[in-house]
Chains A and B, each alone.
Chain A
């Protein structure tokens, strides 16, 4: 069964320190993965997707099929990065339907 695991509920780092938010997935097909972010009092929004191989707000994520991971990284944390981060996997359920399967999320707190 498809599953997304984010092992850390809370991650605290100092400003300027590197950040790594862990995400592991379980999926039998070819995975399509995303990171979503929710800042305080804002709605959930897309941060980045693996197929784009993009860097958004200094964040990158590399798909590692061997380790079934899609960890989110940033070399130098900023206070404005404090937010809730969700890793998500596209899963298909047939007849043209699909959905996002989310992990439980990791709350990142950047200490000034």
Chain B
């Protein structure tokens, strides 16, 4: 079956614009994660959903970042008033259960460039 998909794959935004990044997890997966990967760095945790509940948003860098998963499937990461430091690859991952050692399956990422 299809893996985790993300759209758009590439996004260029002018500083100050709002952007919305979409993640389609593997069907039936309970857990969904967003990570941010800056150039030359490993992925860094942003937020975690268990079904539709956002259990942890401690990694969101500022209140300009907002994520939702209203029906427990598709998730959207929204960034308001983008800044140059928001430029990064945004990765979505999902896992079948809520178990911590369950395999996280990653999407291809959305590369955001803020000019």
Q: A interface vs B, CB < 8 Å?
A: 4, 9, 32, 43-46, 49, 51, 86, 88, 90, 92-93, 95-105
B50→A102 contact, CB < 8 A: no
Interface size on B, residues (CB 8 A): 28
Task: In the complex, identify which listed stretch (B21-29, B62-70, B77-85, B102-110) lies at the interface while the others stay far away.
Answer: B102-110
Give me 8 A-to-B residue pairs in the complex whose CB atoms sit less than 8 angstroms apart, sorted by A's number: A4-B42, A32-B100, A95-B56, A99-B33, A99-B59, A104-B40, A104-B41, A105-B42
Could you tell me the dominant secondary structure of chain B's interface residues? loop
B55→A46 contact, CB < 8 A: no
A93→B101 contact, CB < 8 A: no
Q: B interface vs A, CB < 8 Å?
A: 3-4, 33, 35, 40-45, 48, 50, 55-56, 58-59, 91, 93, 98, 100-101, 103-109
Contacts of A86 in B (CB 8 A): 42-43
Closest approach, in angstroms, between the C-beta of A45 and any C-beta of chain B?
Answer: 7
A32-B100, A86-B42, A104-B41 given; name 10 further pairs at CB < 8 Å: A45-B105, A46-B104, A86-B43, A93-B58, A95-B55, A95-B56, A99-B59, A100-B43, A101-B45, A102-B42
